[in-house]
Structure 1
Amino acid sequence: MNASLLRKTFAVAALCGATSVLTVSAQQLRPVGSFERIKTSGACDVQLTQGATTEVKVQAEGGAEQYIKTEVQNGALMIFRDPNAPRNVFNNKKAVVYVTCPRLTSIEASGACDVVSKSTFAAEAFTIKASGACDINLQLNATTLNVQASGASDIRLAGRVERQQVQISGSSDYQATNLKSHKANVQASGSSDAYVFVDGELSSHASGASDIHNASRTSK
């Protein structure tokens, strides 16, 4: 087989492979009511966008999207895996929930979830709770922020808040040097690390093998 024919053969094979990958991923648009809070669990990835209307889409491979539940309960969008799903249905399959909403005030994640915002969320008060090795990456503009993280969770924030209250434990990391704030109270325990930017009053306490760093000045 000459080189030209060989290259064409590889190109066709690559195209067929790419087509195959695209066909096994499906996306569902979910009808949901209004909400201002999100609770996600069970290793679901969530991508957030602040927009004028509410929209929730679920994308997964191998038919797994039908076993990702999205329900609104008491003003909170609940995202979780169906406990009655067939065994191994999520093995090596990535599930992503795309959420667009006009207003958001709270995110609670547990069980190895990844949550990321694609735009800046504005709120008077915002709450973040993460446990069980979750990763949360958000852009915020708020007056007050309350953060609780435990169990090897990582939180990365950018934007601006007037005041923040932070409590991290286990082996969690709080990366918020790109989140400008005027006042903060930061508590870290276990082997956690907190990185903040506070240009005013900072109250902090670290125990165990934890560290607290203020990018604005040396933390005491």
Structure 2
Amino acid sequence: MKPLLTLALLASAVPTPALAEVTTRSFAAADFDRIDLRGCDHVVVTFGARFAVRAQGQAGSLAAIGVAVRGRVLTLLRAPGSCDSRRNKPAATINVTLPRLAVIQTSGTGSVRIAALDTPTFEARMRGTGALAIDGLRTTRATIDVSGTGTATLRGVRAARLSLNLSGTGRIVADGRADALAIDASGTGHVDTSTLTTGALSVDASGTGSVRAQVNGPATIDASGIARVTVTGRPQCAVSRSGMARVTCG
């Protein structure tokens, strides 16, 4: 028992590394309605009358964040090579408050979460491996464009026209309602709008990916390669298929 007790005492005497301190940093930024995220950080977007940009994370991470506003675009970026948790520069959380958001653009590995928004038009352009989540979208016209391995999740959509464009190995998921829905999917990615109802649907699918949708009305499907398209609801199907593509409509 004595050797075990000695080892326990020695272990308790070894100092353990302190947890990295979380700090905050505020940035002076205003008069923007577009956001361009570059790098590895996590952005949380909320809406209010006043502009605010505040980051939270380790000091090394906050020092590496760059913020600039040009032409109504808020750019959030990192210095090259600064997204490195081994150097005490892991991803930080950047909280952005603004009155209205028209465009979100991402590249790199960062993520964006947007509170429910009501806007005449909205556009999201995603590049890289990042993630986008929207907690509610009410709009006349919206376009979501995902390439690379990124993912986009849209909840509670209420749109007159919704366009979803996917290329690469990414994924788009949406629920809610759109009067008209257009899906353009290529590569090996997946689009799932099976819980989004629409009155008119058009799908252009190529490559090896899959599309799932539902419609109560006309559905125009163009599938090629070995794409898989499944349409439920009460569709009025017009299908053009080539290669080994598979289409299930109705």
On whether the aligned pair clears a TM of 0.5, the verdict is yes
Per the alignment, in what secondary structure is the counterpart of residue 233 of structure 2? coil
List 4+ stretches of structure 1 deviating above 4 A: 50-54
Question: How much has 1:51 moved relative to structure 2?
Answer: 4.8
CA distance in 2, matches of 1:50, 1:186: 33
Kept after mapping to 2: 8 A contact 1:47/1:115? no
Farther off after superposition, 58-67 or 204-213: 58-67
154, 168, 172: which one aligns with 1:138: 154
167, 178, 184: which one aligns with 2:201: 184
Kept after mapping to 1: 8 A contact 2:159/2:178? yes
- Sort the Cα spacing of 1:89 and 1:170 in 2 relative to 1 into closer, same or farther, 3 A: same
- Sort the Cα spacing of 1:199 and 1:38 in 2 relative to 1 into closer, same or farther, 3 A: farther
Farther off after superposition, 124-133 or 50-59: 50-59
> Over alpha carbons, which structure has the higher Rg?
2
Kept after mapping to 2: 8 A contact 1:40/1:110? no
CA distance in 1, matches of 2:50, 2:177: 24
Higher relative contact order (CA 8 A, sep 6+): 1
Question: How much has 1:135 moved relative to structure 2?
Answer: 1.4
Residue identity in the other structure for 1:46: V
Aligned length: 200
CA distance in 2, matches of 1:123, 1:54: 22
Farther off after superposition, 62-71 or 135-144: 62-71
Per the alignment, in what secondary structure is the counterpart of residue 208 of structure 1? coil
CA distance in 2, matches of 1:96, 1:174: 28
Tell me which residue corresponds to 2:68.
Answer: 71
CA distance in 2, matches of 1:69, 1:174: 33
Tell me which residue corresponds to 1:89.
Answer: 84
Matched, 1:127 2:159: no
Tell me which residue corresponds to 2:100.
Answer: 103
Kept after mapping to 2: 8 A contact 1:41/1:109? no
Kept after mapping to 1: 8 A contact 2:30/2:52? no
112, 133, 138: which one aligns with 1:116: 133
Kept after mapping to 1: 8 A contact 2:151/2:170? yes
Tell me which residue corresponds to 2:224.
Answer: 207
Tell me which residue corresponds to 2:109.
Answer: none
CA distance in 2, matches of 1:54, 1:197: 39
- Sort the Cα spacing of 1:94 and 1:44 in 2 relative to 1 into closer, same or farther, 3 A: closer
Unaligned runs of 5+ in 1: 1-15
Kept after mapping to 2: 8 A contact 1:164/1:185? yes
Per the alignment, in what secondary structure is the counterpart of residue 216 of structure 1? strand
CA distance in 1, matches of 2:229, 2:57: 38
CA distance in 1, matches of 2:125, 2:163: 12
CA distance in 2, matches of 1:180, 1:54: 35
User: What percentage of aligned pairs have identical amino acids?
Assistant: 25
Residue identity in the other structure for 1:210: A
Tell me which residue corresponds to 1:32.
Answer: 29
Per the alignment, in what secondary structure is the counterpart of residue 126 of structure 1? strand
Question: How much has 1:90 moved relative to structure 2?
Answer: 5.0
CA distance in 2, matches of 1:210, 1:108: 23
Unaligned runs of 5+ in 2: 1-15, 102-121, 235-247
CA distance in 2, matches of 1:138, 1:57: 25
Residue identity in the other structure for 1:186: V
Question: How much has 1:102 moved relative to structure 2?
Answer: 3.9
- Sort the Cα spacing of 1:198 and 1:152 in 2 relative to 1 into closer, same or farther, 3 A: same
